[in-house]
């Protein structure tokens, strides 16, 4: 926070930086967090379900992107033929 990094709060001249540092120090002094062993609280199937859902979502997003690219490949030639844009305008799509 106080270092010279390009986007650090001090470099960006955050006005209440000293107050923020004090709040963080107070929080750190308040106590140490303890890790929560989630897998000992819920069963392994319940723990695995959201991770499987995430994998399915990512897979569907990849499918959607591949489909969009196929559509783009078919649509761009039609757009180039019917519109007075320069071909390089469609290269960005």
Same domain, 52 and 11: no
Nearest CA among 63, 72, 74 for reference residue 92:
72
Q: Please give the Cα distance from 6 to 52 (Å, whole number).
A: 38
Q: What is residue 75's predicted lDDT score, i.e. its pLDDT?
A: 84
What contacts 24, CB < 8 A, 6 or more positions away? 1
Q: What is residue 89's predicted lDDT score, i.e. its pLDDT?
A: 60
Same domain, 49 and 92: yes
Domains of the chain: total: 2
37 located within any domain:
no
Domain that holds residue 18: 1-31
Profile the chain (93 residues) by mean pLDDT over runs of 10 residues. 89 92 92 85 90 97 96 81 61 59
Q: What is residue 84's predicted lDDT score, i.e. its pLDDT?
A: 61
């Amino acid at each position: 926070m106080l270092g010279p990094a390009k986007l650090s709060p001090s470099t960006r001249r955050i006005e209440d930086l000293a107050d923020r540092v004090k709040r963080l120090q107070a929080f750190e002094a308040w106590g140490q967090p303890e890790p929560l062993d989630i897998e000992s609280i819920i069963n392994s199937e319940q723990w695995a379900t959201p991770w499987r859902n995430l994998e399915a979502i990512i897979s569907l997003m990849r499918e959607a992107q591949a489909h969009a690219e196929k559509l783009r490949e078919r649509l761009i030639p039609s757009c180039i033929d019917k519109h007075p844009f320069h071909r390089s305008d469609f290269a960005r799509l």
